Structure 1
Amino acid sequence: MTQTVLTGNVRGVAEIKLQTFGLDHHIDWDIGAYGEDDDVRAELVRIALGRAAAKAGQPMSPRRRR
């Protein structure tokens, strides 16, 4: 499973915040979406899905895992 970040923070701030608590080790920062990507936070999901699809070479869709 791949983990990333969706946040209204700019990427650099998100990295610092997660590094501070040791939560950054398993994050794929390149497929995340950040405050500098769009002013509308709901758009960050679309952006991250697009980045993940490009990296994986296959379409991605949102789904809930339990």
Structure 2
Amino acid sequence: MNRTFFLIIVALQIAFFLAWEHLGYSHGEAYVFLSGIVLLYFRRKYMDMKPYWGGDLSDIPKYFTRK
């Protein structure tokens, strides 16, 4: 999952949340929170990062480099 795809999905999540709230539905915050966790999980998985509990956080700069 490259950076562009990641940012597009984040933008779509925000747009979906705004539309959801505009239509008057509740629990949009829960959707954004849970889908954000899933998105970060797949981002780390496809960048071959260790799980958060698997070691130190020295691999976080991979988020900010081009692949």
Instruction: Calculate the TM-score normalised by the size of structure 1.
Output: 0.31
**Higher RCO (CA 8 Å, separation ≥ 6 residues):** 2
Instruction: Calculate the TM-score normalised by the size of structure 2.
Output: 0.31
Greater helix share, structure number: 2
